[in-house]
Structure 1
Amino acid sequence: MIDNLSWVVAYPEILLLVMTCVIALLDLGVKTPMRGATYVLALLTLVVVAILTGNYAASGKTLTGFGGMVVSDPMGNWLKCFAAVAMIVTFVYGRAYSAQRDMLRGGDLFTLGLFSLLGMFVMISGQNFLVIYLGLELLTLSGYALVALRRDDLRATEAAMKYFVLGALASGFLLYGLSMVYGATGSLDLSEVLKAIAGGEATLKGSKQVLVLGLVFVVAGLAFKLGVVPFHMWVPDVYHGAPTSITLMIGGAPKLAAFAIVIRLLVEGMAALAIDWQQMLAVLAVASLLVGNLAAIAQTNLKRMLAFSTIAQMGFMLLALVAGVGKDGANMANAYGSAMFYVVTYVLTTLGTFGVILLLSRNGFESEEVADLAGLNQRSPLYAGVMAICMFSLAGVPPLVGFYAKLAVLQALVAGGTSFHIGLAVFAVLMSLIGAFYYLRLVKVMYFDTASQTAPIEAGADVRSVLSINGALVLVLGIVPGGLMALCAQAVASLIG
């Protein structure tokens, strides 16, 4: 059933879709290599969408439309707002890099980026298995094309093929799992699935064994989208092979959407099976922390190191989802709010990290090796400072926001009260200590090694301004994290309530 409320719920998606099509058509008349008009129009679109979703989120209202298949709630709208802002920053950082490599022709970077954001929005809003899956496919199909955007680069083409094959396999896992859950519960709507599972055998159309087996496939598909062990094989190869601006587009905003569908499917749809999926997530988290941190130490390529870092960081985030136990609403809101805070701050830090890498890359030179950062402080104390702040934050050094994010997850685990949760917290601390090595190694290279490059670092005013704000936010949100943490906790609390 489509009524006026349905259109209100979908306004951000409708606006984004219409403007993406308009930008694709108008770009046909743009001839400049930097695609100035397309770039400005894309940024204006994203600013309007971010303001619109931010207003929706600030209102605190939860609205449903299209027969209950789409929802507009505070958690979803805040994630949409943050994703739109992350895409703005990605376009600002990646424009010059992409133009130097002839990746802006046809405006494909901007239109595919906007289509991928639309996929994220649909995923975040989905209250129905089909809606969530359609959004996921729109995001991943755009991602495959973006990775292969540099057609003359064999490494990028190889990465796109690996991403496509493994992504198709993971999508099959997720779709097969969702079909089994549908077979067991008789519904595609998350609310009906939740009621059927909570009602027990009397309301299940199939056996409990079919439901749990479907849950295994769903968790496997979600684990691939998050890039956690043992479904992490694509992450280092795609991060390394893709052009750096595309690596940022894949490693930034989509993490917010991946977190959203984990919450939608596991918490909103299958909370009654929490004891089952939390055990699976605990195994994935422990394996990701161990493999991600140990493998990152051995990397000399900067993008591969950050890829393994991402695997470890997502493992740390999963620990917060494991911490939400029982029927205590406050405990669950604290745990899942900590997970949301962790993902948002991780994306913020990742943007700053890749912003500096993109800045150091120039025409004919990729700043991809750890050695390429040698002596960066001698060339530009500002950019070295931003990179150092991001590295310290990822390592969890106070008073930066990464420290508070890790602390919030550890507090949620300890609040679980069981020896299992406390053991996970101790393990996470030990893995963070190991992870600090490769983050601090970069700081050492920037400040104490002799500069290997002497060419001046050129950047537009927009890049310098956004990068400075990015670095400042990582510091400021670490000193005063209360506002963002409260926002995340309230958004998740309204969802659980």
Structure 2
Amino acid sequence: MTSTLHAATDTNLAPVYAEIFLLIAASAILLIDMFLKEGKRNLTYALTLLTIVGCAVLSFADFQGGATVFTFNGMYVSDPLANLLKLFTYLATAMTLVYSRQYAGDRAMMSGNLGGEFYVLALFSMLGQMIMISGNSMLSLYLGLELMSLSLYALVAMRRDHAVSTEAAMKYFILGALASGFLLYGMSMIYGATGSLDISTIGQVSASGDANSTILVFGLVFVVAGLAFKLGAVPFHMWVPDVYQGSPTAVTLLLGGAPKLATLAMTIRILVEALPSMAFDWQQMLLVLAVLSLAVGNITAIAQTNIKRMLAYSTIAQMGFVLLGMMTGIVNGDNSDAASAYSAAVYYMITYVLTTVGSFGLIMMLARAGHEAETINDFKGLGKRSPWFAIVMTILMFSLAGVPPMVGFMAKWAVLQAVANAGMVWLAVVAVLFSLVGAFYYLRIVKTIWFDEAADTAAIHTPADMRVVMSLNGVAVVVLGIVPGWLLAVCYSTMQATLAK
């Protein structure tokens, strides 16, 4: 791909065709759903997936062009990084909705929760993610973040008759509002130091030395704290296990999947593109966050019996690896390996999202009307009840643990290589040791699936679309691990083009 820079313009709406289409379609689906009878929401589901496909077609055309195009006075950018992450955002969201259809339908008929508004809020959340991914101004980044967050707050609180879910919604809302305040306060200090909200201008002013360095550092601290909360990194992780456990599993998947890609994009926009001159400062912060996340996430997950809570601590640990990739791009002012390091972080996040979506999908597959499959014991005897899906779950757990030849191993290898290239071999050793600790709780799930007697022998009934997508999900995790080159190359060329603009 070749990157072509176009001048900023207010009249060029081509970069936002996907967002415009999504906004119109989501509003139309909301109106259509109002006239559908309870339990007759297959139309809403089909229209939602068609909308995501339409967005994917528009973004893929931009990705193929490889151009970098600005619009809205430079506040919005369509570049290779934005289009790549949007495509995987669509994929993750579509997979989430396919996995959630039966789960959401059962609960809509039982209690009125997770009905058509589930699909509409998922689309509006995805719109916020798209704005975050393409934001080229502190203002547009924040607007996208709030649109995504408000939709997710509402989704977490949808199970109104469930005390744990209501508690999770309150925790998520209050702590999310606090983190948003941190982020906004940090952005305001960066604006005060540089006189601009534009990402490119902030980068130029901070590099020239004209900015007030004291205010800039304080602003950076608040911004990193806000980003760490959205990623779920220690010590800003306190919401993750409670919200993952308390939310309906379909909502947990919407929280733990595609939004991670948008948050990574926002992190790259602010730290890598706007503040590369302060790399030494924010890399030290990310180092602390990464090591703490690896330690707390992996060690605490061992004690969990609720699988959603276990996967929440797993997420915290996995974010530690992403942060390792982010903190190794610039070494002593040398950014020659920046594209390699940041592409490793992007690759890790993409593969993690694909794997975790499948993991929660299988949890929903085991759930049924009136029963949540939320404990590790619910997976007992899955190898006898459904050998194929037991194999898929085994593949996903091996991938999260970093066992070759699964894609999780290649993702960890790419990040560890970036860390070693930055001269921090000790840090790579620490990451490997904590990964070995983490392998215990993943392998415990595998042991439960294949060697424990089934506690529930009821047949597993799933829609055909869910079975097909789940099977493809498992196969993709293996294939991408055996043949990782093309996705690694795409991530690398994308970061090269983005850093060169």
| TM-score bin, normalised by smaller chain | over 0.9
- The residue that corresponds to 2:263 in the other structure is 258
- The residue that corresponds to 1:237 in the other structure is 242
The structure 1 residue matched to 2:339, chosen from 298, 308, 333, is 333
Question: In the TM superposition, what is the alpha-carbon distance from 1:95 to its structure 2 partner?
Answer: 1.2
| Structure 1 residues 85-234: aligned runs within 5 Å | 85-102=91-108, 107-200=116-209, 203-204=210-211, 207-234=212-239
Does the aligned pair in 1 maintain the 2:56–2:90 contact within 8 Å?
yes
CA–CA separation in structure 1 for the residues paired with 2:120 and 2:372: 25
Relative to the length of structure 2, the TM-score reads: 0.96
Does the aligned pair in 1 maintain the 2:63–2:84 contact within 8 Å?
yes
Does the aligned pair in 1 maintain the 2:113–2:159 contact within 8 Å?
no
1:436 aligns with 2:439: yes
* 1:456 partner SS: coil
Question: In the TM superposition, what is the alpha-carbon distance from 1:2 to its structure 2 partner?
Answer: 5.5
CA–CA separation in structure 2 for the residues paired with 1:376 and 1:416: 44
Does the aligned pair in 2 maintain the 1:126–1:132 contact within 8 Å?
yes
- The residue that corresponds to 1:411 in the other structure is 417
Question: In the TM superposition, what is the alpha-carbon distance from 1:3 to its structure 2 partner?
Answer: 3.7
Question: In the TM superposition, what is the alpha-carbon distance from 1:32 to its structure 2 partner?
Answer: 4.5
1:474 aligns with 2:480: no
Deviations 1:228-276 (A, max 9, x none): 0000000000000000000000000000001000000000000100000
- The residue that corresponds to 2:288 in the other structure is 283
| Structure 1 residues 379-390: aligned runs within 5 Å | 379-390=385-396
Does the aligned pair in 2 maintain the 1:255–1:343 contact within 8 Å?
yes
Deviations 1:8-67 (A, max 9, x none): 011111111010000001111211504011110000000111122122112211100011
Aligned length: 489
CA–CA separation in structure 1 for the residues paired with 2:377 and 2:335: 49
- The residue that corresponds to 2:372 in the other structure is 366
- Deviation >6 Å, runs of 4+: none
Does the aligned pair in 2 maintain the 1:35–1:104 contact within 8 Å?
no
Q: 1:483 to 1:451 in 2, by over 3 A?
A: same
Deviations 1:405-428 (A, max 9, x none): 0000000111112xxx21110100
Question: In the TM superposition, what is the alpha-carbon distance from 1:330 to its structure 2 partner?
Answer: 4.2
CA–CA separation in structure 1 for the residues paired with 2:316 and 2:114: 33
CA–CA separation in structure 2 for the residues paired with 1:366 and 1:106: 18
- The residue that corresponds to 2:464 in the other structure is 461
* 1:457 partner SS: coil
Does the aligned pair in 2 maintain the 1:329–1:493 contact within 8 Å?
no
Unaligned ranges ≥5, structure 2: 1-7
Does the aligned pair in 2 maintain the 1:34–1:96 contact within 8 Å?
no
CA–CA separation in structure 1 for the residues paired with 2:427 and 2:367: 39
Question: In the TM superposition, what is the alpha-carbon distance from 1:4 to its structure 2 partner?
Answer: 3.5
Q: 1:105 to 1:342 in 2, by over 3 A?
A: closer
CA–CA separation in structure 2 for the residues paired with 1:54 and 1:410: 30
- The residue that corresponds to 1:25 in the other structure is 31
1:267 aligns with 2:272: yes
Relative to the length of structure 1, the TM-score reads: 0.97
The structure 2 residue matched to 1:80, chosen from 86, 102, 110, is 86
* 1:180 partner SS: helix
Unaligned ranges ≥5, structure 1: none
Q: 1:105 to 1:457 in 2, by over 3 A?
A: closer
Question: Residue type matched to 1:425 in 2?
Answer: A
- The residue that corresponds to 2:3 in the other structure is none
CA–CA separation in structure 1 for the residues paired with 2:40 and 2:399: 33
CA–CA separation in structure 2 for the residues paired with 1:215 and 1:128: 15
Does the aligned pair in 1 maintain the 2:79–2:498 contact within 8 Å?
yes
Question: Residue type matched to 1:451 in 2?
Answer: A
Does the aligned pair in 1 maintain the 2:237–2:316 contact within 8 Å?
yes
Does the aligned pair in 2 maintain the 1:101–1:150 contact within 8 Å?
no
Question: Residue type matched to 1:303 in 2?
Answer: K
CA–CA separation in structure 1 for the residues paired with 2:61 and 2:472: 22
1:393 aligns with 2:399: yes
1:315 aligns with 2:320: yes
CA–CA separation in structure 1 for the residues paired with 2:63 and 2:323: 24
Question: In the TM superposition, what is the alpha-carbon distance from 1:151 to its structure 2 partner?
Answer: 1.4
Does the aligned pair in 2 maintain the 1:358–1:367 contact within 8 Å?
yes
- The residue that corresponds to 2:301 in the other structure is 296
Deviations 1:176-197 (A, max 9, x none): 0000000000000011100110
- The residue that corresponds to 1:451 in the other structure is 454
* 1:323 partner SS: coil
* 1:347 partner SS: helix
CA–CA separation in structure 1 for the residues paired with 2:389 and 2:357: 13
CA–CA separation in structure 1 for the residues paired with 2:358 and 2:60: 22
Question: In the TM superposition, what is the alpha-carbon distance from 1:293 to its structure 2 partner?
Answer: 0.3
Deviations 1:254-307 (A, max 9, x none): 000010000000000001000000000000000000000000000011000000
Question: In the TM superposition, what is the alpha-carbon distance from 1:323 to its structure 2 partner?
Answer: 1.1
CA–CA separation in structure 2 for the residues paired with 1:426 and 1:335: 17
Question: Residue type matched to 2:491 in 1?
Answer: C
CA–CA separation in structure 1 for the residues paired with 2:432 and 2:244: 26
* 2:235 partner SS: coil
Does the aligned pair in 2 maintain the 1:33–1:105 contact within 8 Å?
no
